[in-house]
Structure 1
């Protein structure tokens, strides 16, 4: 029992070090409050009546990003949290992951007596994976909603241009009349433009936060019209029609490939479900043979074929339009 308690102490120290490193990182970078404020931009405008409420925030963010050569893992995760729209910081994310990891480890190690070697990796994978999957799903849903809102936003801009408004006013109409997320994102872009950023750069920043091919076409249409002139209203109307047709085709392909995606889901979940079920019914079923070289080889081959099969199914059902 003494050795088991030592392992528990090591696991707690490991989680504590992770949380300490994350806390020091955010204490130095001081991005938490900035991101939280920007995410509530429209609410702050409603309360204060100040249309330029986001300028100080955007100034600080722009100054920091000028010195960043590339995005780190933390920056990518921060972008994912931003895209998800959740009121959750990186420190909060890792705090939840740490608590969940400790709870899962305690369950498998003490209640199921699975063993330290199997309990710790399982707890780490589930403890970090479950919050990440939740955030990723929220971000994916919000990005999908952004794509669905893009066509009405383009139509709104086109009607504003037909009414005689300049392009800047038409873009601002989206931030005022469209709901979140596209209304908030265009509002942040307008704040960046008012702050002094080029319109193309501000719109490209939206595309970085919400990668969307149709949005890139929209940005290109605006820049081409600004440099060469032409009928921007006609271009936007044609772009809106093309996006609608692509969306209809995408839904048709999605329906035709639904059987393959369901097969991939079942095949992907079944091995892990059986592993958890067998480990719950008989905790020593795998652990007593983990030191045997034949067991390692015998388990490695199915894992390789499993990954190849999942990749093949994914390539078959993931049809890009």
Structure 2
């Protein structure tokens, strides 16, 4: 037994502990419940009674020596880790490159449209996307039996006929008229929803920007000149524009706005249905009933309103033939706009 204890003492003293892995090996070999020392202690019962006390003392000393060596090695490793000093950073090295993000094409065009109208005095107004019937339909002169009120055309909230996802940002204009006094000159960009099949030319969710100008003696000529200015600023001086008579419940007279197709330059393509012209929006003089509904005297004030889809404008500006690309998050498509804007 004496020789065994001396051998283990030598092993404890000579055991190499330079890292945490070696420290754990030392613990398992000499301190663990299944270590060689634990086995010797368990064998004390087989020692002759007259020798048992002396051997037990030697084994306890051996156990304490192993624990002391373990504690000293653990403390040394901890001190060496805490005293480690990282080498100084070289601030002259180039920065780690990272992928540059890009603005979405719809955001680029939206910002450009807002900038054009801000230059001629329009301010920006926003409103809720979940609207009540009054602001989305009734105040805008929609009759009770108008098709836009049908479930097939509008997303109603929990089948509530009085609450729906707004179908246009004209609802924002109603709120502005209710809470402001003329003169009013505002632009309302935002997301709108309609129950339509998704295709290259249509989507159930898209973006609109609508303008409103109300003051004394506002005429249809003012509307035309405003839109002439906008189209020329956005598409260039060579673009052609025309107005076609139309009908909207909230304007009278009303017109649809066409510009020469920027994809085929008027030669005819799928985007313009081979006509050379593409509709970009609708416009007209604000109906007197709408002014009355919003608390504005139509005998004193007149105004014009216009609206257009940002997706359609973006299609034409960047010659994109499928508006589904705007919502598919294909990075191959979006990276094309990294250096635009």
TM range (shorter): under 0.3
Which structure would you say has the larger Rg?
Answer: 2
TM-score, length of structure 2 as denominator length: 0.20
Higher strand share: 2
TM-score, length of structure 1 as denominator length: 0.21
